[in-house]
């Protein structure tokens, strides 16, 4: 499945984020409703890839934006309050919510079109 390849590729950067030690807490912000099969598949893929990357012991906190901007903002705040070592965001709305909430930890994002044009990164190369 294509989403598994995309998520696996993005999560392969986790060893670089952790530097000397693996993260103990991972936040996940999903832009969909918790009941959506796609949301469940994303979480399953993320958890499997964390295990594959050697992060099996990490605490994974998942929040759902429910496809609602107000809920996305609230969910981003909840995750930031938990002070994760890294956050995985799916979808542009999740990245915007984290950026607006003042996320200071590394954010790995997937399923985002034109991250440079949206101001998420300085350039695709970086």
Q: Tell me: pLDDT of 16 over 70.
A: no
Q: pLDDT digits over 72-126, tens only? A: 999 999 999 999 999 999 999 999 999 999 999 999 998 888 877 877 777 777 6
The C-alpha atoms of residue 99 and residue 107 are separated, in whole angstroms, by 9
pLDDT (0 to 100) of residue 15: 55
Share of the chain above pLDDT 90, in %: 63
Q: Please list the helix, strand and coil fractions of the chain in percent, rounded to the nearest 5, in that order.
A: 40, 15, 40
Q: Report how far apart, in Å, the C-alpha atoms of 71 and of each of 16, 66, 74, 94 are.
A: 31, 7, 5, 10
> What's the mean pLDDT when you consider all of the chain?
85
Average pLDDT over residues 10-27: 64
Asked if residue 26 lies in contact with residue 88, where contact means CB atoms within 8 angstroms, the answer is: yes
């Amino acid at each position: 499945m294509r989403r598994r390849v995309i998520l696996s590729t993005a999560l392969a950067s986790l060893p670089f984020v952790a530097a000397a030690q693996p993260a103990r807490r991972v936040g996940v912000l999903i832009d969909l409703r918790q009941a959506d099969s796609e949301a469940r598949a994303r979480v399953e893929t993320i958890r499997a890839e964390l295990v594959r990357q050697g992060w099996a012991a990490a605490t994974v906190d998942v929040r759902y934006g429910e496809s609602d901007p107000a809920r996305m903002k609230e969910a981003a705040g909840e995750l930031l309050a938990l002070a994760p070592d890294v956050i995985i965001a799916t979808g542009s709305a999740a990245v915007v919510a984290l950026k607006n909430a003042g996320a200071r930890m590394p954010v790995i994002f997937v399923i985002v079109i034109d991250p440079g044009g949206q101001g998420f990164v300085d350039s695709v190369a970086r």
